[in-house]
Chains A and B, each alone.
Chain A
Amino acid sequence: MSILSLFVIIPLITVFALMATNGFKQARLVAAIGMGIQLIMAAVIVFMYLSERNAGNTAEMLFYDSSVWFESLNITYAVGVDGIAVAMIALTSIVVFAGIFASWDVQILTKEFFISLILLSSGVYGFFISLDLFTMFLFYELAVIPMYLLIGLWGSGPKEYSAMKLTLMLMGGSALLIVGFLGIYFHSAPNGGALTFNILSISKIHIPIEAQRFFFPLTFVGFGVLGAMFPLHTWSPDGHASAPTAVSMLHAGVLMKLGGYGCFRVAMFLMPQAAHELGWIFLILTTVSVVYGAFGAIAQKDLKYINAYSSVSHCGLVLFALLMMNKTSMDGAIIQMISHGLMTALFFALIGMIYGRTHTRLINEMGGLMKVIPFLGVVYVIAGLASLGLPGLSGFVAEMSIFVGSFQHPDVFHRVCTIVACSSIVITAVYILRVIGILLLGPITNDHYLHLGDAKWYERISTVTLLAAIAGIGLAPLWLSDMIGDSLAPIINQLSLSF
């Protein structure tokens, strides 16, 4: 059994352990321990991965293991990782760990909260390690349903509405995915031989172009819904705003990256010709996402909605860069996935902490918080600077790679899209700096704020973890981009062969 299966087993064991706990203090302790172990496991796997690569192992996927599940349909439980998957696993474990500490104060049905959260994360881990379309899809759907309970029970605002909208739209995406995956499966043996769900096997054969033209849009849109591609992004603002803190962190930080990951690992990897032929349609849509999300963020008055629209914009940038289909921009896309994951998790954690103190999320009602809660204020400023791409933090590395890579296309269409998307940098700066100005700087607007306490120990753990990762990637991105670059090679290969 591959070591990777531990990433699914440890969360499941934690869930069972949680079922036996009594009272909210025990529950959060068990959850913290479980996800702490998971974080250590993630660090271990990064280490093991890098040492395997340094030892000269050039296999496409490491720690590969495959056991037959449904023999007659050639469904296997196949796991394996490359550099990108390892990076995503590391991201997930950091965000989940930070999320547990950000939810330290949940006291209603605490046990059920952590069970749903960790079940959600097990779906995410399973998705990243799977190499078989059926298993991948199983984990993908597993990651959607706990959202309904998490938002509906522990959320705020129009939570039932947001929960239902989010669940139904994301399941709509997976509905399209079923059709896409079945289409890929039944065309996976064009020269005779056995049909297969295994991604590595399918990538070696050539799916007929007529089939690709039908199934690539279905698969890409199916994943694109989760990646908040315009116009199917509408679940995101309400969903993130109504969700409790840890859920927003996990969802915006990690789950939306499932969409981007699926897009390149399945849609573009297995159907490269259609990606070239039809990519321009989605390029237009994602460019719109980037700019629309940014403009949307400017118009919002609620902190969470600002961040939600900002996530739409940044995740749109991920898909945008992926569709540019050259090495630099795809490098940038993956780094953006990780960087934005960390940033948005940090933002949502901070918003949750601020809300817990001021009991409002409307920026007009707050002011001068830097004087009262300096730790949180400083962290918020750094997070904001990362979001608008200040060099030295991860956002800059990602966005620079993306735009340099995109501009390498000499034709007018791609250049125009790049320029339009670039404008989002300015718009991002507008809403980030505006919020910082109103919220943190200036005079204190409410006398009650004078009594607010600064960050507690568990809040400091939560925020510093994320901040350290953001700064680390920003100052020393080489180790990350090396890890990713090697693994992008097969995908770039696949895409360029069909040029």
Chain B
Amino acid sequence: MMGLENFLLMRHELVLTLITLIILIAEISVKDENSRKLRPFSIILFFIATVIGFLPLGEGTLFGGMYQTSGLIVTMKNILNIGVLIILIQSYTWLGNDENKIKVSEFFILILSTLLGMDFMISSGDFLMFYIGLELASIPVASLAAYERKKSKSAEAGIKLILMSALSSGILLYGISMIYGTTGSTYFSEVAQAYTSSNLQTLAFIFFFAGMAFKISIVPFHLWTADVYEGAPVNVTSYLSVISKGAAVFIFTIVLFTVFRTITNVWQDVVYITAVLTMTIGNLFAIRQKNLKRFLAFSSISQAGFIFLGIIGGNKLGMTSVVYFMLIYIFSNLGAFGVISAISNKTGKEDMNDYDGLYLTNPKLSLVMMLALFSLAGIPPVAGFFGKFFLFTAAAQQGFFILILIAVLNTIISLYYYLLVVKAMFINKSENPIPYFKCDGYTRLGLLMCVIGIFATGFLSIIFEYIRSFSFGI
């Protein structure tokens, strides 16, 4: 039966709901002159929530199996919390702008709502709970993408995102209905036992895959990514590229390894082909991009392809490397987006050509950007190297050496375009580079957290071993 201790298994979600309500009430009841205190207030609240999330939590299921939690799921939620904390810290300056000042609390409430949806999605033990979480995660993000009402690109991003989300959720729901039709249940455990590779069930899997691939930006479901990332405000883009993708990857891995474990012969082929397509097309399109947000959009598309290398083996090392890589990817991507956000706030410039000669005027920002890009490229000694290496190791364990060869060749292509940004900042000369500006405390804190993360997650093997202790394979 469900007692209080069992109910408190939902600690992450309960705390999130609580602070969302607190922020809502605070916004209504605060006087005008104190309204600028809302930002630090909300950030501190979320910091407390993150810390509470790290306190030990038991395993268990709730609501008759619809909600489940385990060490792995808690770790995943904590990783997402860290990411959101860094994003909130990085958004501090941008939220202080004239047009954003009046709707600060909406930003926090929307972000926390999507995070709540993602937490439910990751903890789901049943397809209906999964769908509820997915929808709760998708809809507020679309309004976040359209946050800057006065810019047409932002509105375009919002519309594209909501329409594509709705379509892919619909297809996913169709797949779920077919799963229910063929197995008689929506609970993960029961579906797993009854799943075979009959035609209708394979089709159901494909529809499920399509819905998830949209969120993870896998080719050929990636077409929304570049436009939405470019149009949305920088901090919402970082949220989409890191947290939204991360949560989708987490639940996708769990579902593949538990629910669909009997049909590995079906999904391994699908993952193989989409991984190759994603890495290659993401890389090839990134080479041409000049807008840095689009550039990072295509770079994250190709990173998702690399993540699939960890998934394809279906082994314990694979799940470990996927979660580990996601953590590193959060720090690297947020580092890059943090720099872009700081510069965009100050000067409004988002083009690679505007970054020419940045090292001579803003050396520390350039160094942070360089570290973040090297981590994304997988260059030692930063953590991205370890993340990529372990993804390849996981694929190698199951013998996918040709796939690894394709992946490492794609790493070279990606190094080319990351080096283009490094070249712009360090080597290119410019008549009017972006002048020196001092970042405020919150931006510095956010970037510092990213840099520490980029170095620590690689060298400290305890993080990898910790994640491994919870992982499981097929």
Contacts and interface: CB of A to CB of B under 8 A. Distances in A.
B98 to A, nearest CB: 39
Nearest to A173: B412
Given A134-B389, A142-B380, A160-B427, A167 B415 contact: yes
Contact of A172 (B379, B389, B401, B412): B412
Given A70-B465, A138-B385, A183-B396, 9 more contacts: A138-B380, A148-B422, A153-B426, A160-B427, A171-B415, A172-B409, A178-B389, A179-B396, A214-B401
Contact of B412 (A152, A160, A168, A186): A168
B408 A179 contact: yes
Interface in A12-48: none
B290 to A, nearest CB: 17
Interface in A56-74: 69-73
A176 interface: yes
27 contacts: A70-B461, A71-B465, A72-B317, A73-B393, A75-B461, A137-B389, A138-B380, A138-B385, A142-B381, A148-B422, A160-B423, A164-B423, A168-B416, A171-B411, A171-B412, A172-B412, A175-B411, A176-B405, A176-B408, A178-B392, A178-B408, A179-B396, A179-B405, A182-B404, A185-B393, A185-B396, A186-B396
Interface residues of B, number: 30
Nearest to A142: B380
A141 interface: yes
A182 B392 contact: yes
Contact of A183 (B389, B401, B415): B401
A175 B380 contact: no
Determine chain B's interface SS by DSSP, over half rule: helix
A285 interface: no
Contacts of A141: 379-380, 385
A355 B427 CA distance: 23
The listed residue with most A CB atoms (<10 A of its CB), out of B411, B416, B419, is B419
B385 to A, nearest CB: 7
Interface in A129-166: 134, 137-139, 141-142, 145, 148-149, 152-153, 160, 164
Contacts, number: 81
Nearest to A172: B412
A210 B215 CA distance: 41
A-B pairs with lowest CB-CB distance, top 7: A175-B408, A182-B396, A152-B427, A138-B380, A70-B461, A141-B380, A142-B380
Interface residues of A, number: 32
Contacts of A71: 461, 465
A139 B385 CA distance: 11
A392 B65 CA distance: 83
A179 B410 CA distance: 13
Contacts of A186: 396-397
A70 B427 CA distance: 37
B455 interface: no
Interface string A205-243: 000000000100000000000000000000000000000
Contacts of A164: 416, 419, 423
Nearest to A167: B419
B464 interface: yes
A142 B408 CA distance: 16
Interface string B370-406: 0000100001110001000110110011000100110
B464 A179 contact: no
A173 to B, nearest CB: 10
Given A73-B393, A167-B419, A179-B405, A145 B426 contact: no
A72 B468 contact: yes
Nearest to B370: A149
B381 A138 contact: yes
A153 B412 contact: no
A179 B404 contact: yes
Interface string A324-338: 000000000000000
Contacts of B464: 70, 72
Contacts of B385: 138, 141
Contacts of B374: 145
Interface string B431-474: 00000000000000000000000000000010011001000000
